[in-house]
Structure 1
């Protein structure tokens, strides 16, 4: 069984991740290939990562950024493995048997089609300017396998997941959504609609590049824009109805309180945003902020 390790790159030094993976492949004699696609990075990072061309099976440089969904689908043109393992470029390997854990799981679970390994961050954060992203990761994303298995589709993320090539060939990422936000959950719901199960295993990758509070909040706003586009697409509305933010939005509409919520949010928005950019952000305020933005943009 051949494994294709697929790493999309955008403005990041990916050398440490690649060399760690290559070290394990060589040490454990793993049948795997490494494929990199640079999604229109600036010249600085292209130059930094250029040395990897002779270290990997394939390194493709794109002239223009094509987005998070298209680039993942693009790997199908180059991957030769039975399974594709997708890793974000800012990930860091913490277990020297990272690939081996996946391969052993697949040998023991031959019917597995999709497998998510999880992610982790620092246990303690010293620099508070990253606290919002760190807190969201710790409390909402870095869940145990037991908790992830309770909601296998809603717990799925596109960083550190493995998929059978023939499944991705049939169920691709929706290329209408190029920007950040909810493309992973939309893909998970596409899998669910086709009755393709998602397995979970404890094999996390370390999130090596937390965004500052300001950058992360901007990405949150971008993600709400993506969700609005999905909600306004009739064929997708039902698929994404399980997403927590969508459920809250639908509930307010059902009881006809969206106008009242927006009226209150108009007075609270500035204070909520100040809290999220502070050293003591409250994730309930993040939920409130997302819901307020969604309601405003859906009017």
Structure 2
């Protein structure tokens, strides 16, 4: 049984990540390969990452950016493994048995999909990074116990293994090019087909915490991605249980969307200023995402 380690790259130095993976593969003589696909990073990072080319089995650079979903799908035809391990490029390996633990679970439980989790530094960063850090701590870095309670909602794409034959049948939705909800939609597609997601305690360290301003932009992208899902009749029911979806539907059903959109137009600059301070409650971020979602849904 062979494992293909698939890492999509966009404007990040992956040399340390590749070195950690390569070390475990060689030390333990594992049957694994490493594939890197660069989604049209700028020339600076292409040059930095070129040193990893001799350490991996595949290193391709896309001329044009295809987006988060399409680049993951592109690994399917390049991978020789029976299973694919997807890692985000900003991850850091923190266990010497990271790959081995996945292989052990595959061999023991024959799981079709496995999610290992994620962690960030427990030390509070300076204020300009606190919004992203706070979101990661409270919404993303869930313990194994919490993830097991809601295995599909607790799934993320930063660190997971999937059987190649399953991935052939369930691709990422390529209309979602930007940040947000491609992992949830993917998980809900698996759920609808009865494909189980196994959760284990094998986290990767999130090595890149964005500034408040950048993360506010990503929050807006996520809301716009959710709007694309809701506007598509084939996918809208997959996210019906999401809190943000339910909040939007209440606005629409009670005919408050117009008033809300006007209010959000005037409030948005103040909300973004408050979020940029870093120590805002995440409910304010939720309100901001609701405003962007409602505004996007109102457009033709």
TM range (shorter): over 0.9
Residues 154 and 243 of structure 1 are in contact (CA less than 8 Å); yes or no, is this contact kept in structure 2?
no
**What is the 5 A alignment of 1:161-176?**
161-176=160-175
Q: Equivalent residue for 1:247?
A: 246
CA distance in 1, matches of 2:295, 2:47: 42
Displacement of 1:65 in angstroms is 1.1
Displacement of 1:270 in angstroms is 3.2
CA distance in 2, matches of 1:61, 1:138: 33
Residues 275 and 282 of structure 1 are in contact (CA less than 8 Å); yes or no, is this contact kept in structure 2?
no
Q: Equivalent residue for 2:62?
A: 62
Displacement of 1:296 in angstroms is 1.8
Residues 132 and 276 of structure 1 are in contact (CA less than 8 Å); yes or no, is this contact kept in structure 2?
yes
Number of positions where the alignment pairs a residue of Structure 1 with one of Structure 2: 298
**What is the 5 A alignment of 1:63-212?**
63-110=63-110, 112-212=111-211
| TM-score of the two chains, using structure 2 as the length reference | 0.95
Q: Mark the runs of 5 or more structure 1 residues left unpaired by the alignment.
A: none
Q: Equivalent residue for 2:2?
A: 2
Displacement of 1:266 in angstroms is 4.4
Q: State the Cα RMSD in Å.
A: 1.4
Residues 125 and 133 of structure 2 are in contact (CA less than 8 Å); yes or no, is this contact kept in structure 1?
no
Q: Mark the runs of 5 or more structure 2 residues left unpaired by the alignment.
A: none
Residues 86 and 160 of structure 1 are in contact (CA less than 8 Å); yes or no, is this contact kept in structure 2?
yes
CA distance in 2, matches of 1:201, 1:250: 35
For residue 77 of structure 1, give the secondary structure of its aligned residue in structure 2: coil
**What is the 5 A alignment of 1:210-289?**
210-289=209-288
Displacement of 1:267 in angstroms is 4.9
| TM-score of the two chains, using structure 1 as the length reference | 0.95
CA distance in 1, matches of 2:260, 2:47: 50
For residue 5 of structure 1, give the secondary structure of its aligned residue in structure 2: strand
For residue 154 of structure 2, give the secondary structure of its aligned residue in structure 1: coil
Residues 32 and 81 of structure 1 are in contact (CA less than 8 Å); yes or no, is this contact kept in structure 2?
yes
Change (3 A) 1:195 1:263: same
